[in-house]
């Protein structure tokens, strides 16, 4: 069990030293950082990847703000799940301050706060999935009305039972929302550009 910290700034104009100064007062044993790296995706975030490999059961991961870990719902859910499986707890100092906690509370309270964050994260992710399903259903109804619906469900969709195809679907959506070019998405995920285009049209991105 130990105290480790993760720091990230997304621009060369910002200094990671400010975050370190805030974190130093918490007796941090090991620091991980991503300097001038965007939090919109996990691409290029070597510091975060090293942290996920290093983290041990019982570790407390201090961040000045929860969005230092992730800026989108998909990545937040993925990171939270991996850390929880490993038995680690994230300590978001901005949230503790919002709750009026001037001092870092006991380990039991920190674990409770992290559990609540995970519940909210899963809830928001589920709501997003339901919203995607609703938009997809509306698109099918519209296509049927216009006589364009062929009746064959696409391979990559939110409600498929194939976990790999479902993960690919949500990964495409995430990258499209981050304005990544369709050709690059197709090449990196091993699917056709036309498939990416169809997913974009169905999701209305």
The catalytic residue positions are 10
Nearest to 155 by CA among 184, 205, 204, 189: 189
User: Please, what's the b/e burial string for 108-137 (b: 16 or more CB within 10 A of its CB; e: otherwise)?
Assistant: eebeebbeebbeebeeebeebeeebeeebe
As a whole number of angstroms, the distance between CA 21 and CA 180 comes to 34
**Which strands form 89-92's sheet, in the order they lie side by side?**
30-35, 3-9, 60-63, 89-92
């Amino acid at each position: 069990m130990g105290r480790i910290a993760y720091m990230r700034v997304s621009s060369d104009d910002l200094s990671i030293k400010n975050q370190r100064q805030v974190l130093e007062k918490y007796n941090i044993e090991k620091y991980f950082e991503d300097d001038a790296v965007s939090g919109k995706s996990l691409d290029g975030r070597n510091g975060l990847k090293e942290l996920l490999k290093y983290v041990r059961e019982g570790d407390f991961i201090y961040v000045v703000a929860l969005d230092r870990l992730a800026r989108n719902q998909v990545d937040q859910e993925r990171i939270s799940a991996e850390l929880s499986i490993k038995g680690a707890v994230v300590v978001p100092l901005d949230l503790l301050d919002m709750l009026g906690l001037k001092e870092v509370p006991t380990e039991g309270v920190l674990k409770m706060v992290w559990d609540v964050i995970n519940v909210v994260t899963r809830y928001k992710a589920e709501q997003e999935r339901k919203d995607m399903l609703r938009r997809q259903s509306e698109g099918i109804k519209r296509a049927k009305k216009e006589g364009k619906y062929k009746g064959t469900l696409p391979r990559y969709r939110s409600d498929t039972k194939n976990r790999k195809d479902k993960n690919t679907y949500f990964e495409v959506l995430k990258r499209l929302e981050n304005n990544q070019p369709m050709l690059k998405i197709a090449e990196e995920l091993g699917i056709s550009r036309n498939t990416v285009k169809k997913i974009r049209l169905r999701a209305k991105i």
